[in-house]
Amino acid sequence: MKNIVLKSLLRIGKLIAFVLGNYLIILKKYCNWQKRAKNIFLKNYPLMLPVLEALDFFYLSMSPYDISIANREEKGWQDKKELTYGETFLLSIPKIFQNIEITEKDVFYELGSGSGYLSFFVNQYYPAKKVIGIDIIGDFIKICNIVIKNLKLNNIYFYEDNYLDKNIDDGTIFYITATCYASEEMALLEKKLNSLPAGIKVIMISRPLNSPDFILTKYKFLEFSWNFDSVFFYKKI
C-alpha cells in the first residue's frame, strides 16, 4: 500500500516537474535566474561567500559539467550513465537542511559530492563533527581540497573514490543524488545502506529506497539543475 502511494506520488511529481520545468527554463532565460538565486543565497548565507568565490575561480574556465565529461572521457567511462552530472540548486540546499537536525555528534556524508557546494554549506552552517564528500571524479576532489586548504576550513574532507567501495560506517547522515542510477546500482546502494546501523538518516534525491528498514519521515519537491525533483527523507529503524 505504502509503495503504491509512493509510486503514484512520484508519477504526479514527475508530471508537475515536466510542466513546471518547461515554464521555468523559458522564464530563467529572461530573468537571469542563476545570478539572482546566487545573490539571494549569499544574502541569507554570507559565510558561503569565500567558498563560492573560491569555487567560481576554479570553474571559470571549465564548468563542473565540462570537468565531469572530460574526466569520464579520460577514464573511458562515457557509458556510465550513473555518473551523469547535475547539481542541487543553490536555493534548494537550505530548504533541504531545514528539514533535518544536524548536531555535533553527526558525521555527514555526501555520496557523489560533485563540485562540493552542498558539503561546504553543511560545514559552514551546521555543527557536524565531520563533513565528508566522496566523488569518483578526481578533479572535483582536487578543487575541493584546495578550497579547504586556502580557506583553512576544519572538519570537512573530500575523497576521490567509488563510494560503493568505501567504508562509510561512521556516517550518521547521508545525502545521495541517485537520479541516473539504474536498478543494478540502486541495488548495490541499498545493500550498502542496509548494512549501516539503525538510527542513520538518509536524504535521497529522485529515487526512493525500497528497503523496509528505512521509514520515510518527510517528502519535498524542490528545484535541481535538471528540473524539479523528489527529496525523500529516511530514517533507518
Ligand X SMILES: C[S@@+](CC[C@H](N)C(=O)[O-])C[C@H]1O[C@@H](n2cnc3c(N)ncnc32)[C@H](O)[C@@H]1O
Q: Which of 179, 119, 169 is nearest to 143 (CA)?
A: 119
Binding site for ligand X (CB under 6 A): 68, 82-83, 85-88, 110, 112-114, 118, 134-137, 162-164, 177, 179
CB of 19 vs ligand X, minimal distance in Å: 22
Q: 37 — phi, psi (to 5°)?
A: -60, -40
Q: For the chain, what is the radius of gyration of the CA atoms?
A: 17
CB of 223 vs ligand X, minimal distance in Å: 12
- Give the residue closest to ligand X by C-beta: 112
CB of 228 vs ligand X, minimal distance in Å: 14
CB 119 within 8 A of CB 156: yes
CB 116 within 8 A of CB 54: no
Q: How far is CA 179 from the centre of its chain?
A: 10
C-beta closer to ligand X: residue 8 or 74? 74
The angle subtended at Cα 104 by Cα 103 and Cα 106, nearest 5°, is: 70
The three grid cell numbers given for residue 98, joined into one nine-digit string: 531545514
DSSP per-residue codes, 36-66: HHHHHHHHH-GGGHHHHHHHHHHTSSS-HHH
CB of 22 vs ligand X, minimal distance in Å: 21
CB 64 within 8 A of CB 114: yes
CB of 4 vs ligand X, minimal distance in Å: 28
CB of 8 vs ligand X, minimal distance in Å: 25
How far is residue 147's CA from residue 201's CA, in Å, rounded to a whole number?
27
C-beta closer to ligand X: residue 8 or 85? 85
Q: Which of 121, 109, 235, 112 is nearest to 178 (CA)?
A: 112
